[in-house]
Amino acid sequence: MTRIEKVLYTGKVHITSGGRDGAARSDDGQLDIDLSSPGSKGNGTNPEQLLAAGWSACFIGAIGLAAGKQKIKLPEDLSVDAEVDLGTAGVEYLLQARLRVHIPGIEREVAQALVDTAHRTCPYSKALHGNIHIETELV
């Protein structure tokens, strides 16, 4: 396991009792949300949505780094649709995910290479690779 040599940022969040039905507040006040269990009638988001949002944002950043190294200008309408499933296998709870990447105006072979590179370099992808089932698709 590789350890971080230099910490660039630490996200600090406090979750109140209730867990999935509690609230999340960051120490800097930038995140202040209610949480709700998936499929419930609660007013908040859930951990799976938060993971999908963070991962897809990071993945776009990794695509940008890969494109920059190759001097490829990315389109303004580059997007990632992330889906994170919560499910069971027997008695265990598990996650699985899909990333659908849209890079219009870039040759498909080049776009696929950017997606592949991003999946190898994105910290979220590296953390989850080999731990959950992941599908990436260029759309």
- Condensed to tens digits (0 to 9), the pLDDT of residues 66-76 reads 999 999 999 99
Using CA of residue 42, residue 33, residue 101, residue 119, what is the dihedral sign?
negative
**CATH 3.40.50.300 is held by the domain 47-138:** no
Query: Where in the chain do CATH 2.20.25.10 domains reside?
Result: 1-45
**At 25, which amino acid appears?**
R
C-alpha separations of 7 from 10, 19, 55, 110, 131 in Å: 7, 27, 19, 32, 23
pLDDT at 42: 85
Confidence bin at 99 (pLDDT 50/70/90)? very high
Confidence bin at 126 (pLDDT 50/70/90)? very high
pLDDT at 53: 97
The stretch 93-121 carries a mean pLDDT of 98
pLDDT at 132: 97
pLDDT at 117: 98
Listed residue (103, 89, 77, 95) closest to 132, CA to CA: 95
Q: Angle at Cα 84 formed by Cα 66 and Cα 36, nearest 5°?
A: 130
The stretch 12-25 carries a mean pLDDT of 91
Query: Where in the chain do CATH 3.30.300.20 domains reside?
Result: 47-138
Which architecture, in CATH terms, is 1-45? Single Sheet (2.20)
pLDDT at 39: 84
pLDDT at 1: 77
Asked if the model's pLDDT at residue 137 lies above 80, the reply is: yes
